[in-house]
Amino acid sequence: MTLPRARGTAGSHPRLTREEIVRVALRTLERDGLEQITLRRLAEELGVTAAAVSWHVRSKDELVDAIVQASLRTLRPPQPESGEWTGRLRELHTWFRASLLERRHLVFTPAFRRALPYAFVPVELAGTRILREAGVAEGDAEGASRLLHWHTIAVALNEAGAAHAPPPGRTPRPVLDGAIESLTAADFASFIERLPEMLDTDPDRTFAFGLDCLLRGLQRRLLIARSSRGTRARRPSKR
């Protein structure tokens, strides 16, 4: 629509920078979703040629990488200092889930997957710290924190995927049919009976239930003292 305006005139920015490109991309991402982001459209919005964008950004892959990194740079996990360890972990992962959902347009991106092992190290560490202060042995605390970490990612990714599956009417029937075919006769009956509640569930409750089960499992497995903080774990560290 708009022709590329000459840079430096009124109403346009004096210079195109990589940061500005990423900023505009992030804005249109939240408005229109990822597949609407195009170097050409971005250029138009910036009042510039597509080639100009390509000059600042080596490739589109690199642009998406930059978008993901810009989006992740603002993450700061809360560090609840007081309270029982279960409550502190609950607070940490409730926050974590929310911040993943805020980035729901990005979480299925290859760039995001590449960042996955690194981006949430602070979350893992925060969880590990809470567990260690609760008396869990060193090696176990790490594994447990990572377990919670993944559970939250799982639930959030599932929610994110369902959230912007655009056509609510267009149910993927064939998949459902294929699934039904493989059911035994006994399962089929209970499937029909329970179908409605399987399809609409409260994500908040499911998340809370899963987290609760995990925490209880850790409590049992790691032999954490119920209420006293600082109690040593009975099971010794392996190293």
Please state, in angstroms and rounded to a whole number, the distance separating the CA atoms of residues 27 and 43.
14
- Shortest CB 26 distance to DNA, Å: 16
* Structure tokens, 63: 């642009």
Question: 203: buried, middle or exposed (CB in 10 Å: 19+, 13-18, 0-12)?
Answer: middle
Q: How far is the CB of 221 from DNA (least distance, A)?
A: 48
Please tell me whether residue 36 binds a second copy under the rule CB under 8 A. no
Whichever of 38 and 109 has its CB closer to DNA, that residue is: 38
Query: In 3D, which of 67, 72, 76 has the Cα closest to residue 27?
Result: 67
Nearer to DNA, 52 or 115 (CB): 52
Q: What is the 3-state secondary structure (H, E, C) of 28-68?
A: HHHHHCHHHCCHHHHHHHHCCCHHHHHHHCCCHHHHHHHHH
Residue 31 or 76: which CB sits closer to a second copy?
76
Q: Which does 229 bind (CB under 5 to 8 A by kind): DNA, a second copy, none?
A: none
CA–CA distances in Å: residue 40 to residues 1, 112, 151? 12, 23, 38
What is the Rg, in whole angstroms, of the alpha carbon atoms belonging to the chain? 23
Tell which positions 154-213 bind a second copy, by CB under 8 A.
154-155, 157-158, 161-162, 165, 171-172, 174-176, 178-184, 186-187, 190-191, 194, 197-199, 201, 206, 209-210, 212-213
Question: If DSSP codes are grouped into helix, strand and coil, which group holds residue 234?
Answer: coil
Q: For a second copy, which stretch binds (CB under 8 A), given 19-27, 38-46, 75-83, 224-232?
A: 75-83
* Residue 101, binding choice from a second copy, DNA, none, Cβ under 5 to 8 Å by partner class: none
Write out the two tokens for 137: 């042995």
Least gap, CB of 119 to a second copy (angstroms): 5
In the bound state with a second copy, the residue whose beta carbon lies nearer, of 3 and 118, is 118
Distance CA 46, CA 16 (A): 8
Which residues are at the interface with DNA (CB under 7 A)? 4, 7, 15-16, 37-41, 48-52, 54-56, 59-61
Work out whether 119 is an interface residue with a second copy (CB under 8 A).
Answer: yes
218 binds a second copy (CB under 8 A): yes
Choose among DNA, a second copy, none what residue 93 binds, the Cβ cut-off being 5 to 8 Å by kind: none
Which CB atom, from 51 or from 121, has the smaller least distance to a second copy?
A: 121
Residue type, 174: P
